[in-house]
Amino acid sequence: MQQIIHYLSYWDSALAIVLVFGGLIFFHELGHFIAFRLFGVGVITFSVGMGPRAWGVKRGKTEYRISWFPIGGYVAGVGEYSKDVETLGFTQEESIASRPAWQRLLIAFAGPFMNLVIAWLIYWGMIASMGMSVTLPQVGGIIKGSAAEQAGMLPGDMITEIDGVAIERWAQVPEIVGASGGRQLSVQAERDGSLMNFSIVPRRSERVNIFGETETAWLLGVQASGRVRYEEKGFSESSWLGLRQTWNMIDLTLTSIKKMLFGSVPADSVGGPILIAQMLGEQARAGFAPLMLLAALISVNLGLLNLLPIPVLDGGTILFCLIEMVIRRPVPEKVQEWSMKAGAALLIALMVFATFNDIMRWFK
């Protein structure tokens, strides 16, 4: 029986991977589809899934289909991949080639934008239904030989004040300690219902940040327990908090990309599809909420990565449109063609590199 449950847990993980990946790519393509419709561009096919057609129905001039490979999907607009328009039952006016550059730019932008909207809706829904999670200022671990250990702090202590400032969330602790400049701090903590007072002098020490970089900062030598509380929020406030969380994830992702480009983040930290699938599987086993929060983060990453100015990505199309708007004529087809080939080669190389990192990480 335990063996059956063990295998079923992996089926749950596989289903989560398909639904999250497939769902996020589907909504990306839905963004393009909506933009096509808004600007009167004909749509040949809207497919849920990739590969050969499993089932489909035609409405008007558009075929809506389900394809056999259940990850992702695509939308094919008239004139996107072929100049053959009339034989498909469309007019030249319905071709994307007949649209001005600014409309083609917005059509390309609509897919990544939809991914950001989906992330916002996930955060909004999670906060509205569960409340805003706040990490408690509880000590989970004490670094050996640190100032906190020498002062007598213990795991489980709940920090309530630092230098007279009330502490309600863990984020306040590194912020106040980091700004102390190394001066002595008066720390109050609750332990087993009693208040304890400590005089601690922070030490300049090394730590590893979320990007894997080693940095120096003033530290007490304590680690968060990870316990959280949930603050109930109203529907409209949850909308604003969800938007703020989406922006925080956008900022985090852009900072990560910048650090990778400039080499401050090690190249072997780059992850690919295997790492993402592994993370989705772990979060699926952890529960619905962790899975949805990871889905929101992946959606932000998918949207921003598609906006990179690399031909074959939406960002490459946007770049060509911007150039066309400046020079008042389309970028030569030969230039676009060779750029697409170079962009495809770059993406394949990056995918191979990221997958190699995943495999090496797996063996480690």
- Give which of 330, 335, 319, 312 is closest to 105, Cα–Cα: 319
Taking the alpha carbons at both ends of the chain, their separation in whole angstroms is 31
| Token pair recorded at residue 239 | 């909308």
Tokens 């550059």, located at residue? 101
Tell how far CA 112 is from the center of its chain. 12
Residue 87: its H or E element: none
Tokens 């529907």, located at residue? 235
Distance CA 306, CA 115 (A): 10
User: Is residue 29 flagged as an active site residue?
Assistant: yes
| Token pair recorded at residue 154 | 């213990």
User: Counting Cβ atoms within 10 Å, is residue 211 exposed (0-12), middle (13-18) or buried (19+)?
Assistant: middle
131: left (phi over 0), alpha (psi -120 to 50) or beta: left
Question: Is residue 43 within 8 Å of 30, Cβ to Cβ?
Answer: no
| Token pair recorded at residue 194 | 């009693």
Question: Is residue 294 within 8 Å of 279, Cβ to Cβ?
Answer: yes
Q: How far is CA 269 from CA 79, 265, 364, in A?
A: 40, 7, 13
Residue 194 DSSP SS3: strand
Backbone φ, ψ for residue 221 (5° rounding): 95, 30
| Token pair recorded at residue 255 | 């900072």
Residue 166: its H or E element: strand 165-166
* Active site amino acids: 29
